[in-house]
Structure 1
Amino acid sequence: MGKQLRVSLRQQRGLSYWGLLLVIAVFGFVLTCVSRMGPAYIDAYYVDEGLRKLAQNPDLETMTKGQIRTELDRFFLLNNVRGEPTKALRVISGADSKLVSVEYELRQPLIYNVDVVMKFNKQLNTAKADLCCEPLVDLKQFRKSD
C-alpha cells in the first residue's frame, strides 16, 4: 500500500513551470483578442438592437429617410455607438418600401503586424420588418450616395 501511495503522489505533482507559462500565455492571448475585438461586437449588437427597435415603430412605413436616420442616430448616441457603424448607415428607397442598411468592415490591429478583419452587415426592409436584421439584399448594385 505504501508503494502505491508514493506512485499516486508522484503523479499528482501539479503544473510544471512550462505548463504554467503556457497557461498564462494562452490566457493573455485570449484577453488581448477580447479587448481588441470586443468593442466592435458590442457596437454590432447595438446596431442590431437599434434596427429591431426601429422595426417595432408603428410609423415605420411612413417615415422619411431623414426621420429614419435621425431615429437611429439618436439610438446610437444613447448607446455610445460611434465610428464606422454610424458612417455606414444607408437608407435606400424602393417602390413600396425602404431598406435600412448598416454594412461595414473594421480592421483592428491585434499583435504587431497582424490585423483582424471583422465584417458586419445588418439590414431592415420596412416591408418585411419581421425579418430584421439579416441581410436580404446585395447592396453592391446600388450607388454609395443612396
Structure 2
Amino acid sequence: MGRQIRSSLRRQRGMSYWGWLGIVAIFGFILTCASKMGPAYIDAYYVDEGLRDLSENPGLRDMSRGEIKKELDRFFLINNVRGEPTESVRILRGADSMLVSVDYELRQPLFYNVDVVMKFNKQLNTARADLCCEPTVDLEQFRKRD
C-alpha cells in the first residue's frame, strides 16, 4: 500500500520546468503578436467608424472631394489614425452614387526576418449605404487607369 501511495504522489508532482517554459513561450508569442498587430486593427476599426460617420452626413452627395477628405482627415486626427490609412483614401463619383474607399496593406515586422502582412479594404458606397464599410466594388479596374 505504501509503495502505491508513493507512486501516485510521484505522478502528481505538477508541471516540469520544460512544461512551464513552453507555456511562457506560447504566452509571450501571443502577447508579441497582439502588441505588433493590435494597433493596425484598432486603426481599421476607426477607419470603419469614420466611414459610418460620413455615411450619416445628410449633405454627403453635395460635398466636394476635398471636403470629404477634410472630414475624414479630421475624424482620423481626433482618433489618432496615422500613416497608410490616411494616405489611401480614394473618392470615385458616378452618375448616381459615390464611392469612398480606404484600401491599404500594412507590413509589420514580427520578429527577426518574419513579417506579417495585413490587408484592409473599407468602402462606403452611397448607393448601398446600409452595407457600409464592406467592399462592394472591385477597385482593380480603376487602378489600371490611374
TM-score normalised according to structure 2 size = 0.92
What's 1:73 paired with? 73
Q: Distance in 1 between matches of 2:75 and 2:132?
A: 17
Q: Distance in 2 between matches of 1:55 and 1:126?
A: 7
Change (3 A) 1:71 1:145: farther
The Cα offsets for residues 29-76 of structure 1, whole Å up to 9 and x where unpaired, read as: 111111111110000000001111111112122222111111111000
Q: Distance in 2 between matches of 1:60 and 1:83?
A: 25
1:135 partner amino acid: P
Number of matched pairs: 146
2:47 partner amino acid: V
Change (3 A) 1:53 1:128: same
Superposition RMSD on alpha carbons, in Å? 1.8
Q: Distance in 2 between matches of 1:143 and 1:110?
A: 30
2:24 partner amino acid: I
Verify: 1:30 aligned to 2:30, yes or no: yes
Deviation of the 1:97 alpha carbon: 1.3
The Cα offsets for residues 51-105 of structure 1, whole Å up to 9 and x where unpaired, read as: 1111111212222211111111100000000000000011111111110000000
Aligned pairs (5 A) from 1:1-146: 5-143=5-143
Deviation of the 1:129 alpha carbon: 1.0
Q: Distance in 2 between matches of 1:84 and 1:114?
A: 20
The Cα offsets for residues 116-146 of structure 1, whole Å up to 9 and x where unpaired, read as: 0000000001121111010001111114897
Q: Distance in 2 between matches of 1:46 and 1:80?
A: 9
Unmatched tracts of structure 1, length 5 or more = none
Deviation of the 1:10 alpha carbon: 2.8
Contact 1:103 1:121 in 2 (8 A): yes
Q: Distance in 2 between matches of 1:145 and 1:56?
A: 30
TM-score normalised according to structure 1 size = 0.92
1:95 partner amino acid: A
Q: Distance in 2 between matches of 1:24 and 1:65?
A: 51
Contact 1:61 1:127 in 2 (8 A): no
